């Protein structure tokens, strides 16, 4: 499992200071990228040298409670 801490910046929020729902997807993608990096895979090298590209086929999310400006989120990524 990979763990990544991500700070919520103003640009991640809506006018009420709550994280806009699409910003969570960015956090998920960063978690996946760091997980692959920890396993020894750099996505740019996989793309250029082995023509491997990762694409999201489907996604389901359940928002349990809102994150807000300046919160520190922890993203857990596992196989």
Q: Which residues are catalytic?
A: 14
Question: Both tokens of residue 28?
Answer: 């998920």
Residues 51, 41: Cα–Cα separation, whole Å:
13
- Contact indicator for 28, 78 with CB cutoff of 8 Å: no
Structural tokens at position 22? 């699409």
| Interatomic CA distance for residues 7 and 78, integer angstroms | 20
> Can you tell me which residue has the tokens 């922890």?
74
């Amino acid at each position: 499992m990979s763990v990544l801490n991500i700070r919520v910046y103003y640009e991640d929020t809506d006018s009420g200071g709550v994280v806009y729902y699409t910003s969570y997807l960015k956090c998920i993608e960063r978690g996946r990228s760091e997980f692959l990096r920890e396993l020894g895979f750099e996505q740019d090298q996989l793309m250029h040298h082995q023509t491997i590209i990762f694409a999201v086929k489907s996604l389901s999310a359940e928002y349990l409670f809102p994150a807000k400006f300046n919160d520190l989120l922890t993203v857990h990524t596992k196989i």
